Every structure is written in structure tokens, then in C-alpha cells.
Structure 1
Amino acid sequence: MQDDSHGFTTPATFIEQFRDRYYAAYDREQEGALFAFTDTDALRQDHDQILQHAWPVLAERSNSGLLVVAATLVLLNDIQPITHQALAEAFGNEAASFVSACFFPMGGHFGEVERWEQSLREIAEAPAEVQLVRLALLFGQVEYSPQAVSHFPFWYREAEVMRNADPALRQQVLSRIAACETAEGG
């Protein structure tokens, strides 16, 4: 059971069941497509690895239960959009509002410059806790994929605009991206 000072609790098995449903829906969607984009098992493994690095960062916070659930659902939302209503039914209105605020249309849209720039502006204006979730996921992504050179400029820019989040974590992410870029010759 995850618990925090705001009274948000959710059994770990519940969030896993919620994830299972969304990965299964993604899998069904892929079965009907002419070309499968990403193997569902591989995608889930990628998400698990990112979360393995992000969760400890969020677990240090007083409202860790909500932050950890939000991070988990942000990754799910990137593959299968989650409605506010579905979130409210599963986690309650307060949690649904917070989690919905963490959704930005960044993943997979790096080629769409205007959309990406709009997302950056929205992230820059987001509350500190929303930025913290995004920054923790970015930290997880960089730690999991230190060789993903083509993404570094985008990840760096995203971390750069999150000035309301934890300054030490923000600096850690920026430094880690710069170190990875240097190591890869980028």
C-alpha cells in the first residue's frame, strides 16, 4: 500500500492491474494494425526500467504515493490516452486532476515543432509537483537510455524549462544529459 501525507492511498496490486488493462488494450490495438509500432512486452519493459529510476526520486517526497502513481500513468498515457473520467473512477477526482495535469503531448511528437514548443511552454508554467513528476521520468529515461544521443537535445530542453521543480534534481538531470552527450561524442 502506498500512502502519503495527503491521504492518497492505492494498493500496489491495483496500479499493476490498471497498467495491465492499458497494456492489454495497446496490445489489442497493435494486433489490428497493418504495422505494429512497438512490441507491448518491450514497451512495458522500457517503462519498468524508466520507473525503476524515477520511483526512488519520488519516494523521498511527502506525497510519494500520488507522485509515483502519476509517473506510472504518464507513461501509460503516452501509449493509450487515459481520460480524466477513467482516472477519477480509479483513483478519485483529486488524484485524477493532478495526474491529468502531468500529461503533455511530448512523447513521439518531436517532429512536430509547434506542438513540442507549446508543450514546453505548458511544462514551464506547470506547478512544481507536476514538473517534479516529469523531471523524475526524464531522469529515469536518461539513466535507462544513456546512449539515446538523438533525444538528448529534446530532453535537455525539457529539463531546462522546469524551473519550478526540485533545483537539485533538475541540475542532476541536466548534468547527466551533458555527461552522456560528451561520452557519446555528441
Structure 2
Amino acid sequence: MPSLQDQLLKAGLADEKKAKAIRTEKRKKRKAQPKGAVQENEAEIRARKAREEKAERDRELNRQRQQEAEKKAIQAQIRQLVSTNRLDRSRGETSYQFVHDKKIKKIFVDDTMVDQLSRGRLAIVFVNDNYELVAEGVARKIQERDETAVVVLHDRKTDDTGDDDPYAGYEIPDDLMW
């Protein structure tokens, strides 16, 4: 099948000089363009830009969802730690007061728990809108996951020997003069 140019030449609508000029012009354009470069129109450029922006938004959404999932997992771990390690306060008769969210709160514990709370052996944690008592080690694990969950945890003193004190049974007389 002859090309359109050949048909126009046969019909006499175009002359050989013009056809040759057009062929050289096309060849020059082809040579001027780098290999592999495809001319993109504006619609393709806008479409590519829109795809890139959508991919960026999707990545950001996925990152936010992942952070939410991590927060939920951490809260679940904290709830599990507290539920398995909480101490029974049902016999508590002595009130222990502490500050949480700029308000004074009160829980009832027994006398040994008050002593252990003040020595830093026990801690108060706030989980599921309840205050619970846990051991110091558990409180440290909870604190690693969420600082705000541990409400009261006093620092232990190095000279505090507590129950392990070999001289705990010996009282110092009041009238002793140094």
C-alpha cells in the first residue's frame, strides 16, 4: 500500500521538492531527540503527579494506622501485666493519698503496703480507669511501655534494706547519748 505522500505526488497535489524538505525536517527532529525519550503530553505528566501524590498520602495513612495498632498493642500488654500481677487490696483499712492529674486521690491499703509504697517496693498504676497496686519490677516494665500509666513509684534508697535488714529486730533506745 503506497504512503499518503506517494499518493499526493501521483495526484499532483504535492511536488517532489516539498516532500524531500518534509522528510529531512522529520529526520532532523528525530535526530535531535535523545534515544528512548518519549514526548509526554501535559495530561500524562499531571496523571503521573497525581499517582505519586496519592501514593504518598497512602503511605502516610498506613504509617498512622501502624502507629495506632502499636499503641493498642502496648495498652493490651500493660493491661495484661497489671491483671496478672496486681496485688489484692480488699483488706485495706489505711488510706494512702497521692496526686494524679493535679488531683489528690485516695486508695485503701493495709499498713505493710503503705510501708512498701513509701520505700519504692510497690507502685500504683492507672489502667482502665482504675488504680492498681503492682510490684516495683512490674511497674518498671509498664513504665518502659507507657510513662503515664505509672502514677506512684518512689525511688528506692540504696541504704534501704527493708525486710533483709539483719538489725531490724533491735530497737535503738530513746535515752541513748552519743
TM-score by length of 1: 0.24
Q: Larger radius of gyration, structure 1 or 2? A: 2
Give the structure with the larger strand fraction: 2
Point out the structure with the larger helix share.
Answer: 1
Query: Normalization by structure 2: what TM-score?
Result: 0.25
